[in-house]
Amino acid sequence: MADETWKTAITDIGPGKIRIKGYHITDIMEKLSYAEAVYLILKGEVPSKAEAELMNAILVSSLDHGASPPSVLGTRTVVSGGNSLNAAIAGGVLVIGDTHGGAIEQSAKIMQEWANKGDNMTAVAADLVDWLKESKKRMPGFGHRLHNIDPRTGKLFEIAERHGYKGKHIDLCKAVEKALEDKLGKKLPINVDGAIAAVISDMGFDWRLGKGFFIISRTPGLLAHAYEEMTRERPMRKLGPMPFEYDGPGEREI
């Protein structure tokens, strides 16, 4: 009979045994913070002090952003429709996409590809913005509908710099902000997704993990909103009461 065993390199379990990446869960519980443990399971090693502080700052940065983000409206709408907590959290997470929270993924992908195209990040950023213009694409991780300066961005870069994490992706990210202004004539601030994308790229994370950082960070916020909706609001209330108007075909018959 063929061997049907498949391999996983994440956690070794057995009766009375739980070892994540080789470390006993009981040691992790006692010695690592949540952010450090998340770093361990994603990267495979215990983070240095610098990496631990950055990981913590990333996970705290996107904890919540008020009641207006699409994922929060998703979570609250699912609750309002009379559904369970797990459905509400899943609903909110499903709303996270390339323009909301999930911009980390595509931003990190672009930065990881372009940061290798040269040593002068100002020149690389100029070429990158030309490419964006030609392909009529927006640069993920830039622009914000509320903030002219996203306070989370500066703080992440400050913590990164304090610990010597001023690598080429952060340099490229800052250069892109300038190039967007020069070439498009628009001030498009680096948003928290763009800053996280640059920092995780300098920390050596694969861009394909990008959306995960936002999901891990935002889930407690979604939980708080789901709970508040359940305990404070009436079921099926008017959520997102923006005026709208029908402009499709008028009444007709087949």
Ligand X SMILES: CC(C)(COP(=O)(O)OP(=O)(O)OC[C@H]1O[C@@H](n2cnc3c(N)ncnc32)[C@H](O)[C@@H]1OP(=O)(O)O)[C@@H](O)C(=O)NCCC(=O)NCCS
- Selected from 28, 88, 121, 139, the binder of ligand X by CB under 6 A is 139
Asked if 48 touches ligand X (CB under 6 A), the answer is no
Tally Cβ neighbours within 10 Å of residue 250: 5
Considering the complex, state which of residue 38 and residue 197 has its C-beta at the smaller distance from ligand X. Answer: 197
Asked if 198 touches ligand X (CB under 6 A), the answer is no
Min dist. Cβ of residue 142 to ligand X (A): 4
Min dist. Cβ of residue 122 to ligand X (A): 18
Min dist. Cβ of residue 54 to ligand X (A): 19
- Selected from 103, 110, 195, 200, the binder of ligand X by CB under 6 A is 103
Cβ-contact 149, 189 below 8 angstroms: yes
Asked if 186 touches ligand X (CB under 6 A), the answer is yes
Asked if 191 touches ligand X (CB under 6 A), the answer is yes
- Selected from 141, 173, 214, 217, the binder of ligand X by CB under 6 A is 141
Site string for ligand X, 119-138 (x = CB under 6 A): -------------------x
Min dist. Cβ of residue 30 to ligand X (A): 36
Considering the complex, state which of residue 140 and residue 221 has its C-beta at the smaller distance from ligand X. Answer: 140
Residues 6+ away with beta carbon under 8 Å from 167 = 201, 202
Q: Angle, to 10 degrees, between the axis of helix 168-184 and the axis of helix 121-134?
A: 50
Determine the distance from the C-alpha atom of residue 54 to the mean position of all C-alpha atoms in its chain, rounded to a whole number: 14
Min dist. Cβ of residue 183 to ligand X (A): 10
Asked if 144 touches ligand X (CB under 6 A), the answer is yes
Task: Write out the residues near ligand X by the rule CB under 6 A.
Answer: 99-100, 103, 138-145, 186, 188, 191-193
